[in-house]
Amino acid sequence: MSTHTARPTGRGRLPGIWSLALARASVELRSFTRERDAVVFVFLYPILMLALFATVFGSEQAGSAGTGVDFARYFLPGMIATGIMLSSFQTLALAIAVERDDGTLKRLRATPLPASAYFLGKVAQVLAVATVQTAVLIAIAALAYDVPLPSEAGAWLTFAWVFVLGTATGSVLGVAFSSAVRSGRSASAVVIPVVLVLQFTSGVFFPFYSLPAWLQTAASLFPLKWLAQGLRSVFLPPEMVSLEPSGSWQLGLTAGVLAVWLVAGLVVGIRTFRWRRHDDG
Amino acid sequence: METTGGQAVRVRGLRKRYGTARTGWKQAVAGVDLDVGRGEVVAVLGPNGAGKTTTVEILEGFRARDDGEVLVLGEDPARADRAWRARIGVVLQDSRDLGELTVGEVVRATARSYPEPRDPAELIATVGLEEKARTRLRALSGGQRRRLDVALGIVGRPELLFLDEPTTGFDPQARRTFWELVESLRDGGTTILLTTHYLDEAARLADRVVVVREGVVVAEGPPGTLGGAEARTPLVSWMQDGAPRSEVTDRPTELVARLAREAAGPDGEVPHLQVVRPSLEDVYLSLIGAEVGAVGTTTGAQTGTAAEEGTR
């Protein structure tokens, strides 16, 4: 059986994973930016919502007497969190479900492209979109709505790890959730309600402290609440911590919950990922 | 085991079934043997549901088999690695993906995955899409789209190319252009395994045709000899005493001469006289129309043909 060394000569080496990942990232970014739906409902959506909230509630304060901030400032962390979730979870869950349905994945599987390069390309696309989106949100908040930005390095360090961990968790969960979608046509019907419910219950559209306790508890099971809370710790003044139901920013718990979802998403994603459609044998 | 230097594909006793114990089993492939030599073009021909695509997808490494021995370019596709994938090219059935990318982008991106790809610009010209290089895929016609699929299948200079029902839904002009493209690949020495349910396509492109029906090979050979010499024996049919008659004979002229003497009407004509040499299509239809068990022999095939002709 030892005939495997008898490869035809003159075959060059297979390209490396990193150069392939880079090539995939460029393909992914081009596809994303040309999909008008994605640009509007993933990239622009949180930016428009921030502008809308800041304009509508421009003269009001979030919080209570003594510990209040402008609505624009209160909603900035929530909009960054929702942007991260849309750019990572929603984008990947939809894109991979559609690519599985329309045959992109099967086509790639027939080439020598390694699976790792495919996923690295996706991650790079998500990171690029989430980074630009977050930067635009922060810039608009600061320039148009005079939201003061944190000046201490510690706050930006917290921002960095919450952003990276949140994006990673959202991406992994998006890959895993794509397997729950049975066809490309049903993809948005399956994914978007999940996203919407989490947005309304996780302190993105309503101040988290104004939700009933049972809803707060329910939302605490899911990562978006923790992502938004971690970002509030960065962008809200320290005294606003008194409005958190626990009376603390709970950064350790935030890291823990996000990490648990990350690992769970990895396990489920690896076990359920398929290159072919459900009905394709 | 010897090296498969002269052989691109070797399949013995391939079996695959779908379903579950609860829903019942469907035996899609029921013991297929198949050989494809290097440089050969083999067409797997059969009706829908005959097991063509299942067989090919096992060879491409997309599906696991239940039983049988499969070697593609000397390796088992079920355990094949990237290096093996770089040596095959796959053109899947329908494709409607990658709509927002342009022809040039898709070809260039795919070329990146291979060790020694063809030049993307030259390849795009080869498949006749030069003017469409900057066009997004969603704006291509069906024929253009299929030629792009072939370009993506051969961009890595595969030793073996799989084409799964490549021209289904084509207009005649697009089909002809596509055939010319495949012929140029064949002339360039690419081994091709083609599935199709179009007989003219198999006859035009393939060195050898393998007819499958209900998961087994029912006939095999060069298109001109399919079904054996006897399947091509001319059939003479006529009307005599108000009833249709027919006879299969190697000597049709002699028979017609005899009929002119014995069966001609008052005007000297034999009513409804026809001499038909069964076409490839007749042979094929008899092969896939007859019961699988009855088809092992050419006589079985011939009987089917004669019966069919007799009823016309």
Arithmetic mean of pLDDT over chain B? 82
Q: What is the pLDDT of residue A7?
A: 44
Q: What percent of chain B has pLDDT over 90?
A: 28
Strands (E) across B38-173 are located at 41-45, 67-72, 88-91, 160-164
B105-136: per-residue pLDDT in tens? Answer: 999 999 999 999 999 998 998 888 889 999 99
Of the candidates A3, A11, A112, the beta carbon closest to that of B113 is on A112
Q: How many CB atoms lie within 10 A of CB B184?
A: 12
Confidence class for position B5, pLDDT limits 50, 70, 90 = low
Give the orientation angle of helix A71-85 with respect to helix A223-235, to 10 degrees: 140
CB B283, CB B231: distance < 8 Å = yes
With CA atoms as reference, report the closest residue to B1 among A19, A1, A37, A117.
A1
- Whether residue B157 is predicted with pLDDT greater than 70 in this model: the reply is yes
- Whether residue B61 is predicted with pLDDT greater than 70 in this model: the reply is yes
A16-53: per-residue pLDDT in tens? Answer: 999 999 999 999 999 989 988 878 888 888 998 888 88
Q: What is the pLDDT of residue B302?
A: 36
Contact B159 A8 (CB under 8 A): yes
Q: Give, as one character, the DSSP assignment of residue B101.
A: S
Q: What percent of chain A has pLDDT over 70?
A: 91
Separation between Cα atoms, residue B114 and residue B275, nearest integer Å = 55
CB B12, CB B69: distance < 8 Å = yes
Per the document, the length of chain A is: 281
Contact B115 A30 (CB under 8 A): no
- Whether residue A178 is predicted with pLDDT greater than 80 in this model: the reply is yes
Confidence class for position A194, pLDDT limits 50, 70, 90 = confident
Q: What is the mean pLDDT of residues B149-159?
A: 91
With CA atoms as reference, report the closest residue to A76 among A216, A233, A226, A218.
A233
Q: 3-state DSSP call for residue B254?
A: helix
- Whether residue A64 is predicted with pLDDT greater than 90 in this model: the reply is no
Q: What is the mean pLDDT of residues B214-241?
A: 81
Of the candidates A31, A114, A281, the beta carbon closest to that of B100 is on A31
- Whether residue B308 is predicted with pLDDT greater than 60 in this model: the reply is no
Q: What is the mean pLDDT of residues B39-64?
A: 89
Separation between Cα atoms, residue A80 and residue A160, nearest integer Å = 12
Q: Which residue has the higher pLDDT, B20 or B54?
A: B54
Q: Backbone phi, then psi, for B189, in 5-degree steps?
A: 95, 5
Q: What is the pLDDT of residue A239?
A: 82
Q: What is the pLDDT of residue A119?
A: 92
Return the residue matching tokens 């498949």. B127
In chain A, whose CA is at the least distance from the CA of B154? A111
B164-208: per-residue pLDDT in tens? Answer: 888 877 778 878 888 888 898 888 889 999 998 888 888 889 999
Hey, what amino acid is at B206?
A
CA A161 from chain center: how many Å?
14
Q: How far is A191 from chain B (nearest CA, A)?
A: 21
CA B58 from chain center: how many Å?
16
Q: What is the pLDDT of residue A50?
A: 87
B244: tokens are 């249709």
The reply to whether B134 touches chain A by the CB within 8 Å rule is no
> H or E element: which one contains B32?
strand B24-37
Q: What is the pLDDT of residue B293?
A: 37
Q: How far is B175 from chain A (nearest CA, A)?
A: 23
Contact B62 A7 (CB under 8 A): no
- Beta-bridge mates of residue B75: B72
Q: What is the pLDDT of residue B309?
A: 37
Which residue ranges form the domains of chain B, and what is each CATH number? 1-87+159-169+189-225 (3.40.50.300), 96-158 (no CATH), 229-310 (no CATH)
B112, B114, B190: which to substitute to probe chain A, counting the most A Cβ within 10 Å? B112
- Whether residue A219 is predicted with pLDDT greater than 50 in this model: the reply is yes
Of the candidates A8, A34, A281, the beta carbon closest to that of B63 is on A281
Q: What is the mean pLDDT of residues B21-39?
A: 87
Of the candidates A35, A102, A110, the beta carbon closest to that of B96 is on A102
- Whether residue B140 is predicted with pLDDT greater than 60 in this model: the reply is yes
Q: How far is A102 from chain B (nearest CA, A)?
A: 5
Instruction: Pinpoint the alpha helices (H) of B127-168.
Output: 142-154
Compute the radius of gyration of chain B from its Cα atoms.
23
- Whether residue A129 is predicted with pLDDT greater than 90 in this model: the reply is yes
Separation between Cα atoms, residue A94 and residue A41, nearest integer Å = 12
Contact A112 B98 (CB under 8 A): no
Instruction: Pinpoint the alpha helices (H) of B155-198.
Output: 172-187
With CA atoms as reference, report the closest residue to A125 among A7, A39, A5.
A39
The reply to whether A111 touches chain B by the CB within 8 Å rule is yes
Find chain A residues with C-beta within 8 A of B18's C-beta. 281
The reply to whether B66 touches chain A by the CB within 8 Å rule is no
Q: What is the pLDDT of residue A147?
A: 86
Q: Which residue has the higher pLDDT, A248 or B301?
A: A248
Burial category of A44 from C-beta neighbours within 10 Å (exposed 0-12, middle 13-18, buried 19 and up) = middle
Q: What is the pLDDT of residue B19?
A: 83
CB A106, CB A275: distance < 8 Å = yes
CA B173 from chain center: how many Å?
19
- Whether residue A233 is predicted with pLDDT greater than 70 in this model: the reply is yes
Report CA-CA distances (Å) from A228 to A137, A204, B151.
14, 7, 47
Q: What is the pLDDT of residue B42?
A: 94
Confidence class for position A227, pLDDT limits 50, 70, 90 = very high
Q: What is the pLDDT of residue B3?
A: 44
Find chain A residues with C-beta within 8 A of B95's C-beta. 103, 107
The reply to whether B57 touches chain A by the CB within 8 Å rule is yes
Give the full edge-to-edge strand order of the sheet including B235-240.
Answer: B243-248, B235-240, B274-276
Separation between Cα atoms, residue B159 and residue B113, nearest integer Å = 16
Separation between Cα atoms, residue A28 and residue A125, nearest integer Å = 6
The reply to whether B156 touches chain A by the CB within 8 Å rule is yes
Q: What is the mean pLDDT of residues B151-172?
A: 87
- Whether residue A157 is predicted with pLDDT greater than 80 in this model: the reply is yes
CB A158, CB A234: distance < 8 Å = yes
The reply to whether B62 touches chain A by the CB within 8 Å rule is yes
Q: What is the pLDDT of residue A67?
A: 63
Q: How many CB atoms lie within 10 A of CB A77?
A: 25
The reply to whether A24 touches chain B by the CB within 8 Å rule is yes
Q: What is the mean pLDDT of residues B146-152?
A: 88
Q: What is the pLDDT of residue A230?
A: 92
Q: What is the pLDDT of residue A172?
A: 94
Q: Which residue has the higher pLDDT, A144 or A10?
A: A144
- Beta-bridge mates of residue B69: B12
CB A170, CB A45: distance < 8 Å = no
Find chain B residues with C-beta within 8 A of A9's C-beta. none
Q: What percent of chain B has pLDDT over 70?
A: 89
Find chain B residues with C-beta within 8 A of A34's C-beta. 100-101, 136
Per the document, the length of chain B is: 312
Q: What is the pLDDT of residue A65?
A: 54
Q: Backbone phi, then psi, for B198, in 5-degree steps?
A: -105, 120
- Whether residue A81 is predicted with pLDDT greater than 90 in this model: the reply is yes
Contact B101 A30 (CB under 8 A): yes
B2, B38, B65, B98: which to substitute to probe chain A, counting the most A Cβ within 10 Å? B98
Q: What angle do CA A167, A171, A176 make, to 5 degrees?
A: 150
The reply to whether A109 touches chain B by the CB within 8 Å rule is yes
Separation between Cα atoms, residue A223 and residue B63, nearest integer Å = 37
Q: Which residue has the higher pLDDT, A63 or B29?
A: B29
Find chain A residues with C-beta within 8 A of B83's C-beta. 7, 11, 14, 112
- Beta-bridge mates of residue B71: B10
Contact B94 A112 (CB under 8 A): no
A112: tokens are 């020598």
Q: What is the pLDDT of residue B265?
A: 80
Per-residue b or e along B246-272, where b marks 16 or more CB atoms closer than 10 Å to that residue's CB: bebeeebeebbeebeeebeeeeeebee
Q: Backbone phi, then psi, for B8, in 5-degree steps?
A: -95, -40
Taking one residue from A and the other from B, the number of pairs with CB-CB distance under 8 angstroms is 97
A35: tokens are 């999909």
Separation between Cα atoms, residue B177 and residue B144, nearest integer Å = 10
B240-297: per-residue pLDDT in tens? Answer: 888 888 888 888 888 888 888 888 888 888 888 888 877 777 777 777 775 433 333 3
Number of helical (H) and strand (E) elements in chain A, helices listed first: 12, 2
CB B84, CB B75: distance < 8 Å = yes
Find chain B residues with C-beta within 8 A of A20's C-beta. 112-113
- Beta-bridge mates of residue B164: B195
- Whether residue A9 is predicted with pLDDT greater than 60 in this model: the reply is no
Separation between Cα atoms, residue B298 and residue B270, nearest integer Å = 30
